[in-house]
Structure 1
Amino acid sequence: MGIYSITESAMAGLNIAQAGILTTSQNVAGTSVEGYTRRNANAIMDKLAPNSLMLNGSSFAVEGFTRQYSSLLNGQLLNQQAKSSYSDTLVQYTQSVDSLVADKATGLNVALNDFFNAVGTYAADPTNKAMAGAISGTANAVAQRMTGMSTLATQLQSDAQKGLTDTVAQVNTLLPSLADINQRIIEANSPGNSAPSADLLDERDRLLSQLQKLVGGQSLINSDETATQLAAGMPLVERAIANKVTINSDLEHVALTFNLQNGPDKGFQTTVQSLDGGQAGALLKISNEFVPAIVRQLDTIALALVKVANGAAQSAAGSATNLAIFGFKVGSTTYSSLATGDRTANIRSIASDADMTSLYNDLASPANLMTANGLKASNFVSVAPSNFLQYFTGAVDGGAPLITSSKANTLQQLSTVFASRASNFVNDVGVQVATWKNNQKADTVVMANLKDQRDSISGVNLDEEAANLLKYQQLYTASTKVLQAGNQMFNTLLSIMN
């Protein structure tokens, strides 16, 4: 090998060592950056150096820098990010509801059971004022638990809507950023430019991961390395074009606004009630399905209680005195009697669990006017008298009871119907939250496995980088010595010739 070939090989070694040291330093610095993808400096066979002083060249050279990246793993990781964020959000928002609904101190089951037990005890001796007083006490407890559950559902709805507003604001911040990165990637691919830098591609993936966490959908990497983010099958970002997400005035639906590149007045909107994964998808699920189901269960129990309890209380034959146990306070008016023209007059008869189910279905109908008129759990109150004499005609000692023994027995026999409905309510909430918790655990395991697989390819191992740094330092030192030896040989030859 000629001296020129030795020099060329030594210079190639220096270049490879410098490139290796550069990538190693970048990798070490990247350990603190989320989503950083490890870089490598690739050395390739350039051409065999002929054994001739006439033709010379190095046998290897630096091809370039590459990201240690798996598009398959990255796609799986993005999809799983949306699923994990979805289940995490559901559990985070609903775990307090689950514990309070099932808690004996705050739940509705125990209060309803106490009320019907008090009615059953009263049926054995309807002239006993203490027994009548027990009805008032337990009725107050039922009303407190009912309004407490209703307030909890209202707060959950408010939290979900506020969370959705914040999530959409974050999404609309990220969409233009991703469109800008796409534009820079397009420019880097234009003739005369090199390929997009690894930093650009890392930032692209980082933004996609954040969007998947927030809004779910589908992330696609195009052939030119730009990204497309879809939601409900529609593009939120298409190369350098960023669209927008808005929330309808009802705070229960998300509107996607498209074609903003034609001007804000030329875009079109499409409204969706659900999103596939992400925080926004979970919050829509809570706001549009979970909370309305809780509220409808509570409204059903409240309406049925007013129907059966007040029907028994106003049953004394020949009595002109009205007695009510429960009612709905709408504004300054309390509705409790079942007189003609009252808003409660269209509540169906309650005699079985089938009747409760029918009432529950009625409340889902757009034609339902009961809850629209304020006859709902949030307005449910106890109107049972605090003066126990009011349970009797004339509100004096010795008066006839306004709730007869037979009517009290009939009411008490409905306890199983209400117990079943309340138990179903607790079970529905508990099963739903438990399902979400199980999904969260499974998603956490899958996410951890995918991250481990990604890290095995793209992650930075400091021990490995330390070994690489030592290797490149030795290569640099060796190449330098080769150059020094070649220089000495050249000087020696010159001195001989002179």
Structure 2
Amino acid sequence: MSSLLSIGKSGLLAAQVGLSTTGNNITNANTPGYNRQVAIQGDTGTQYQGFGYVGSGTEIQAVRRYYDNFLATSLRNAEANQASLDAYNGQISQIDNLLADPTAGLSPALQDFFSGVQDATASPASAAARQSLLSNAQSLASRFQAMSARLTEISSGVNTTIVSNVNEINSYATQIASINNTIAGLTTDQAAPNDLLDKRDQMLTELNKLVKVTVTPGDNNMLNVQFGTGQPLVVGNKPFQLATSTSPTDVSRVTIGYQSTNGTAFSELPDSVFTGGQLGGLMEFRDGAMDKAQNALGQVAASLATAFNAQHVLGQDQNGDLGTNFFNPIQAYVGTNSHNSPASTASVTATVTDASALTASDYSVDFDGTNFNVTRKSDGKVTQINPFPQTTPQVIDGVAYSISGTPATKDNFLVRPTYNAASSLSVAITDTTKIALAAPISTAAPTANAGNGKITAGTVDANYLTPGNQITSTSTLTFDKASGTLSGFPAGQDVTVTVNGAPTVYPAGTPVPYTDGANISFGGVNFAISGTPADQDTFTIGPNTSGVGDSRNGALLAGLQTKNVMNNGTATFQTSYAQMVNFVGTKAREAQISSTAADASVKQATDAQQSVSGVNLDEEAANLLRYQQAYQASGKVMQVASQLFDTLLSIGS
């Protein structure tokens, strides 16, 4: 009887554990990270009774949680990708909205500015037209500054989020290391603390949404957590703490690295190791679309200022003086690595000088102990500063580098030629009479000439600014029919004659052969004579002494709007800006599409994982009835055993 009673009791206890496990599943059906559990039941062995073996009951061998590591890892990877794309999409959409705004964007301000140049060119003597040009220029500069400020604001928000994410990552790393230690202490050969395992997995899920991690098994049921290319975050019960710091070469940028235990040393990690999760999306956005948008906007600003200044200084203002810079020169941002040798006194300055050669790339300037090397970060091209020490600034990609002081090995500088250009663009001229719309030279063919030779109005180029080349008196060119040459050019000036694109240089004082329509230049002055001049016909070239109504330089300034000034003469200001808007718009659209696809991947991965680990309430309801019936049946067994025992006692009495 005692055997039958024991058997019933074991079944009762087993059913009770099954009911508890099923009830726990039902109540935790909506608990994040919960994996369904099942009571694993087995017999307690049999006993030989002479005629055969008789069972002795049942027992609960384990309460197992249904967990598939492959499915869980797949879900974590999908969620990391989703979090990365959501973070990227949320940031790039802000830039897309900023640049594509038809009223607040750059295109209307550029159009208004060049419309002002055209109006002033049409009425060069009008003070009102000149003032309107200055107002439009100041509005354009303000638009550049406002857009740059908004991009800087977005960048600052990214920095704040990066710092917040790093703090959260550290918190999860500490918690995972702690729970690792607890799980190791509670794990036996027969059982593991399922609730703590679920809690740890949920922590890993949340951590993985911040930065994609790799999880590997450790000793005694602990887990090791790495990110990137194997950088440790948790090893057993030891967490590794990340920290943020300001970049030594760019105060506007937050960097991430390991912090030493005592907090005195910071070891910076490359951005490329942070992939997946919110942090990976932010890094990809910052190092890609954010930097490109800021640099590309600055490239337009710097190119506009440089090209407009280059033409403006070749003109003549209403006071008869050569033009000055219309916009203030663009100085490149230069960041110095604070870890340079204290003995180093090296200093780098960089000024944008050539709008056509200017790129939107950043540059690294490094001293190897012998030479300074300038590395273009967009493609790794290296240009050596030669000679060093310098005698004159060296121009690389439209930027003049000036290096002074005594360098030390491993000195490092970050040069961002266009990064701050939009924010620093400003108008240098405040006096309308200083706007140089006229040309500084004047040409003429006297009416007394017997032939029909004509001379163009003439232009000047950058060589005209060289000291000694400016025309201060009138030169008279005389045509000699017998020799077919022109003479009378300024003394000491070589003359270049270009016919069908082929230049020929004639030394100073040498008669110059006349070719109908050929371009003639000397000392930065360019003109052409065409037609058939008669013997001793003359042509004059002199300073422009009555240029109030002249707008030849104004026409050249207005022509910059449609001239391929940027990207080595392949793009206008408008098309370059449009390319930037198109790039950001394309990236934003790609992010939206990828985000939608990522949502679908997460759903599929979740469904697959939940099919194994999720709680099915219908199934649990059925189990509840099954265990209830088993409990009742076991109770009936015990009742029968009790009745049989009572019968035996009554027989004995």
1:336 — aligned with what? none
Which residue identity does 2:223 align to in structure 1? A
SS at match of 1:252: strand
Cα deviation code 1:52-100 (max 9, x no counterpart): 7996433543221000111110111122222121111111222222111
- What is the CA deviation profile of residues 286-311 of structure 1, one whole-angstrom value per residue up to 9, with x for unaligned ones? 33343222221122111111122234
**1:45–1:362 distance in 2 versus 1, CA, 3 Å:** closer
Percent identity, aligned pairs only, is: 26
1 CA distance for matches of 2:302 and 2:330? Answer: 13
Residues 1:210 and 2:215 aligned together = no
Of the three residues 228, 244, 248, the one matched with 1:247 is 244
| Range that drifts further, 63-72 or 482-491 | 482-491
Mapping of 1:175-194 within 5 angstroms?
Answer: 175-189=173-187, 194=190
CA gap of 1:241–1:290, structure 2 versus 1, over 3 A, is same
Deviation string, structure 1 residues 235-258 (Cα, Å, up to 9, x no partner): 111111111111233243211357
More helix by share: 1
Aligned to 1:296: 295
For residues 434-466 of structure 1, the C-alpha deviation after alignment (integer angstroms, 9 at most, x for no partner) is: 222222211111111111111121112233323
Query: 1:125 Cα shift?
Result: 4.9
The SS at the match of 1:248 is strand
Please tell me whether residue 347 in structure 1 is matched to residue 344 in structure 2: no
| 2:423 is aligned with 1:418 | no
Q: By how many angstroms is 1:185 displaced? A: 2.2
* SS in structure 2 at match of 1:490: helix
RMSD after superposition? 3.5
Structure 1 residue 45 displacement after superposition: 4.1
Match of 2:595 among 416, 440, 446: 440
Give the distance between the partners of 1:389 and 1:348, measured in 2 at CA: 25
Matching residue of 1:256: 258
Which of these residues, 450, 458, 464, is aligned with residue 605 of structure 2?
Answer: 450
The structural deviation recorded for 1:15 is: 1.7
Match of 2:315 in 1: 316
For residue 221 of structure 2, give the secondary structure of its aligned residue in structure 1: coil
Q: Secondary structure at the match of 1:161?
A: helix
Q: Which amino acid is 1:347 matched to? A: V
Which one is further off, 398-407 or 441-450?
A: 398-407
Q: 1:44, 1:62 within 8 Å by CA — same for their partners in 2?
A: yes
Q: 2:103 aligns with which of 98, 102, 105?
A: 105
Q: Secondary structure at the match of 1:160?
A: helix
Where does residue 154 of structure 1 map in the other structure?
152
The residue that corresponds to 1:64 in the other structure is 62
- Which structure 2 residue ranges, 5 or more long, are not aligned? 248-252, 332-347, 366-373, 375-398, 402-414, 439-546, 565-570
**Aligned partners of 1:422 and 1:344: how far apart in 2?**
27
Please give the TM-score of this superposition, normalised by the length of structure 2. 0.64
What code does the residue aligned with 1:379 have? S
Of the three residues 31, 36, 39, the one matched with 1:38 is 36
Relative to the length of structure 1, the TM-score reads: 0.83
Q: Summarize the Cα distance change of 1:38–1:364 in structure 2 as closer, same or farther, 3 Å threshold.
A: same
CA distance in 2, matches of 1:88, 1:39: 33
How much does 1:181 deviate? 1.4
- Please tell me whether the aligned partners of residues 16 and 62 of structure 1 are also in contact (alpha carbons under 8 angstroms): yes
Match of 1:16 among 14, 18, 24: 14
The number of residues matched between the two structures is: 469
Q: How much has 1:200 moved relative to structure 2?
A: 1.5
How many angstroms apart in 2 are the aligned matches of 1:458 and 1:124? Answer: 78
Q: Is the 8 A contact 1:222 1:228 kept in 2?
A: yes
Query: Is 1:376 aligned to residue 381 of structure 2?
Result: no
1:488 counterpart SS class: helix
Change (3 A) 1:44 1:120: farther
Which residue, out of 56, 75, 78, partners 1:80? 78
Matching residue of 2:475: none
- Which range moves more in the overlay, 7-16 or 31-40? 7-16
The structure having more radius of gyration, on CA atoms, is 2
Is this contact kept in 1: 2:255–2:268, CA < 8 A?
Answer: no
Residues 189-229 of structure 1, C-alpha deviations (whole Å, 9 max, x = no match): 46xx7532101211221121122111223122346431111
- Cα distance between partner residues in 2 of 1:145 and 1:430: 20
1:229-248 paired onto structure 2 within 5 Å: 229-232=225-228, 233-248=230-245
**Paired residue type of 1:439:** S
State how far apart, in whole Å, the 1-side matches of 2:617 and 2:264 are: 52
Distance in 2 separating the partners of 1:459 and 1:171: 27
Q: Which runs of 5 or more residues in structure 1 are unaligned?
A: 331-342
Q: Deviations over 1:96-143 (max 9, x none)?
A: 221111111121123223333443455455455565455344433322
Deviation at 1:344, TM superposition (A): 11
Letter in 2 for 1:64: A
